[in-house]
Amino acid sequence: MPLKLPDLLSGFRRKPAADAAPPVEQAPAPIPSQQDTTAPGRLDRLNRWLTLAANLGVLLGLIMLIVEVRQNAALSRAAMEQQKNDVLAEIEFYIAKPEISEVWIKSIRHPEDLTEPELRTMDGILVALMLQWDHRFQMESAGLASRADARQHVLNSAPYYFGSRFAKHWWSLQAPGWEGTPMMEVAGPIVEGLDENFLVTYLDKLKLPPKGPPAEIVPSNPEATE
């Protein structure tokens, strides 16, 4: 049976809205949990702890460096002190030689009678002593000794080397070459203030008086001997 035109067109019409697929409802956004809100705070605290640990590491490194530097300075000071003592011991051993001792004593008691070779011998001894003092001032420049330490060392040793008329005369000839140095600032006034008869008196005091006869023992109670 032939279809009528209205019936044919009705077949191509849109389906009712009831036949359409239902719209998809969007799910609600998830509510952030408590763990998510606290994560940034924990990360911040962790960063602070890491920064603190790094700073402590730097501080400990500096402390260890300071301790090491001080230990090295102490070792250097001990080595230079020993070197200073060694130089002074060598000077003493040299003066103690019999032929040199004669020249040394002659410079103290009869300086006018020194020969030119003997003058050269004395010149070398006193130059060596000045260089030993200068070694002490070099320690001061390096920060291994104080000016007071250097002054005390010169004060202790000066009388036993420059406490004579010849040695003080020799010092006056060397002074212009050391002008403006710690040597003249510290040692100059000390040497100039020394007694030129100090070594003569010192040598005399070293001598023991001749041993006399034993003293007679007197009893405390004379009547006890009768």
For the chain, how many structural domains are there in total?
Answer: 1
Question: Per the domain annotation, does 157 fall within a domain?
Answer: yes
Ramachandran bin of 184, using left for φ above 0, alpha for ψ from -120 to 50, beta for the remaining angles = alpha
pLDDT tier, 197 (very low <50, low <70, confident <90, very high otherwise): very high
Phi, psi of 194 (to 5 degrees): -75, 150
Question: Per the domain annotation, does 15 fall within a domain?
Answer: no
Question: Per the domain annotation, does 56 fall within a domain?
Answer: no
Contacts of 113 (CB under 8 A, 6+ apart): 106
Question: Per the domain annotation, does 53 fall within a domain?
Answer: no
CA atoms of 188 and 165, how far apart (whole Å): 16
Say which residue, 90 or 43, is predicted with more confidence: 90
pLDDT tier, 140 (very low <50, low <70, confident <90, very high otherwise): confident
67: tokens are 């301790």
pLDDT digits (tens, 9 = 90+) for 77-96: 677 677 777 888 899 999 99
Question: Per the domain annotation, does 103 fall within a domain?
Answer: yes
Please report the pLDDT score of residue 210 as a whole number: 83
Question: Per the domain annotation, does 218 fall within a domain?
Answer: no
Neighbour-count burial for 182-214, b at 16+ CB within 10 Å, e otherwise:
bbbebbbeebeebeeebbbeeeeeeeeeeeeee
Q: What average pLDDT score do residues 107-113 get? A: 96
Task: Decide: pTM greater than 0.85.
Answer: no
Question: Per the domain annotation, does 2 fall within a domain?
Answer: no
Top-confidence range, 68-77, 119-128, 130-139: 119-128
CA atoms of 65 and 73, how far apart (whole Å): 12
Please report the pLDDT score of residue 50 as a whole number: 81
Domain that holds residue 193: 76-206
Question: Per the domain annotation, does 162 fall within a domain?
Answer: yes
Placement of tokens 């940034």 in the chain: 40
